[in-house]
C-alpha cells in the first residue's frame, strides 16, 4: 500500500504517452526478427482508437485538473493523425488537455508545430512540459534555452514542480532510447540546483521504469509504458499538501483488456518482462525536497 502523503488532496493530473494514432501494426522492431507482428482483426476498430478512447473515457470520469499527453501522439507525424488524437482526447477533456511532441511526431516537417516549454500551475503543483523531440532522431534533447527556462522556473516556483518530457534520461553512453548523455548531465545539474523540481516523468521506451540518478538525490526519473498496447495504461498523479503519488492504471474496458492481453505475446513473448515493470516502478510516492534533500517519509 502506498503511504498517503499528509494534508489535503489538492489536485489530480493524468498522463498518457505513446498513443500512436494511425499505427496499424505493432510488435515490429527494425532489424530484429522476434514477431509475431500484431494488428486489429478485420471488422475491429483500429487498436489505437480502441485503447485511447477507453483511456480518455476513464480519465475524464475521474475529473482530473489536467491531462498531459507525453508525446508520440501519432504513428508517422501527419496532420490527419494529430487531428485524430485531438478528437479523441480534446473532445472529452477540453482545455485541460496539454501535449508535447515525441520522435514520431516530427517525422513530417511542419505537420505538427512544436510548442516551447510550457508551465501549467495547479493547486499544490506546477507542471513543466518540455518538448524533447529532435527532427531526424529517435532519441531526444533539451537545448540551452529549455534548460534556462526550467532553471528559472525552479528558482521561482512556490510549490513542487513535476517535469514532463517524452524522452527519459540517457542510459550512458547510448542516447538511442533517451536524451543525449550531455543533455542528461545538464538536466541533472538543474535538478540538483533547484529543490522545487521533484520528479521527471517520461515515455518513449514503452516500459514502466523508475531510476535515481547520481547527483539528483532521490528524485524519481520515471518512464511510463505505452497506452496503445500491453500493459495498456495511463498514469495518475494525486497531489497532496505533503507529497504526490504516481498510480498506474491499466485501461479496463473489455475491448482494451482483450487487445492488451493479445499484445502480451509480442516479441516472442518477452515483452511483459520488459514493459510491465515492478509494482514499485508503476506506483510510488514523490516527496517534497528541502535544501536538496528529500522530505522525510511520514510514518
> In terms of DSSP bridges, do strands 284-286 and 243-250 run parallel, antiparallel, or are they unpaired?
antiparallel
Residue 128 sits at φ, ψ, to 5 deg, of: -110, 115
Asked if residue 231 has a cis previous peptide bond (ω within 30° of 0), the answer is yes
Q: What is the pLDDT of residue 137?
A: 92
User: What is the residue-wise DSSP string for 21-37?
Assistant: BT---BS-BTTB-----
Residue 275 sits at φ, ψ, to 5 deg, of: -90, -30
Structural domains of the chain in order of their starting residue, each with its CATH number:
9-294 (3.60.21.10)
Name the DSSP letter for residue 66: E
For residue 129, the Cα-to-chain-centroid distance in whole angstroms is: 10
pTM of the model: 0.95
Determine the Cα–Cα distance for residues 288 and 281; give it in Å rounded to an integer: 19
User: What is the residue-wise DSSP string for 135-175?
Assistant: TT-SSB---HHHHHHHHHHHHH-SS-EEEEESSPPPBTTB-
Q: What is the pLDDT of residue 35?
A: 81
Q: What is the pLDDT of residue 200?
A: 99
Q: What is the pLDDT of residue 241?
A: 98
Tens digit of pLDDT per residue, the chain (299 long)? 899 999 999 999 999 999 999 999 999 987 788 888 999 999 999 999 999 999 999 999 999 999 999 999 999 999 999 999 999 999 999 999 999 999 999 999 989 999 999 999 999 999 999 999 999 899 999 999 999 999 999 999 999 999 999 999 998 666 667 999 999 999 999 999 999 999 999 999 999 999 999 999 989 999 999 999 999 999 999 999 999 999 999 999 999 999 999 999 999 999 999 999 999 999 999 999 975 444 433 32
Cell numbers at 142, concatenated: 533539451
Amino acid at each position: 500500500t502506498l503511504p498517503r502523503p499528509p494534508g489535503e488532496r489538492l489536485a489530480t493530473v493524468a498522463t498518457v504517452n505513446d498513443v500512436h494514432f494511425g499505427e496499424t501494426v505493432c510488435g515490429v522492431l527494425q532489424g530484429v526478427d522476434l514477431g509475431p507482428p500484431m494488428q486489429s482483426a478485420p471488422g475491429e476498430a483500429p487498436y489505437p482508437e480502441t485503447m485511447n478512447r477507453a483511456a480518455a473515457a476513464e480519465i475524464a470520469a475521474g475529473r482530473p485538473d489536467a491531462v498531459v499527453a507525453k508525446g508520440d501522439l501519432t504513428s508517422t507525424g501527419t496532420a490527419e493523425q494529430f487531428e485524430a488524437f485531438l478528437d479523441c482526447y480534446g473532445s472529452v477533456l477540453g482545455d485541460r488537455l496539454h501535449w508535447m511532441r515525441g520522435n514520431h511526431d516530427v517525422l513530417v516537417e511542419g505537420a505538427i508545430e512544436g510548442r516551447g516549454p510550457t508551465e501549467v500551475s495547479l493547486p499544490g503543483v506546477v507542471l513543466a512540459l518540455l518538448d524533447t523531440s529532435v527532427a531526424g532522431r529517435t532519441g531526444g534533447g533539451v537545448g540551452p534555452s529549455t534548460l534556462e527556462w526550467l532553471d528559472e522556473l525552479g528558482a521561482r516556483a512556490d510549490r513542487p514542480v513535476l517535469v514532463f518530457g517524452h524522452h527519459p534520461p540517457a542510459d550512458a553512453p547510448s542516447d538511442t532510447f533517451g536524451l543525449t548523455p550531455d543533455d542528461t548531465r545538464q538536466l541533472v545539474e538543474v535538478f540538483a540546483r533547484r529543490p522545487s523540481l521533484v520528479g521527471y516523468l517520461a515515455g518513449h521506451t514503452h516500459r514502466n521504469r523508475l531510476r535515481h540518478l547520481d547527483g539528483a538525490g532521490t528524485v524519481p526519473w520515471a518512464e511510463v509504458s505505452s497506452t496503445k498496447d500491453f500493459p495498456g495504461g495511463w498514469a495518475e498523479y494525486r497531489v497532496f499538501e505533503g507529497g504526490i503519488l504516481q498510480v498506474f492504471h491499466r485501461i479496463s474496458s473489455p475491448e482494451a483488456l482483450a487487445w492488451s492481453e493479445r499484445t502480451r505475446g509480442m516479441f516472442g513473448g518477452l515483452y511483459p518482462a520488459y514493459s510491465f515493470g515492478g509494482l514499485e516502478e508503476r506506483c510510488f510516492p514523490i516527496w517534497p525536497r528541502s535544501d536538496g534533500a528529500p522530505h522525510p517519509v511520514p510514518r
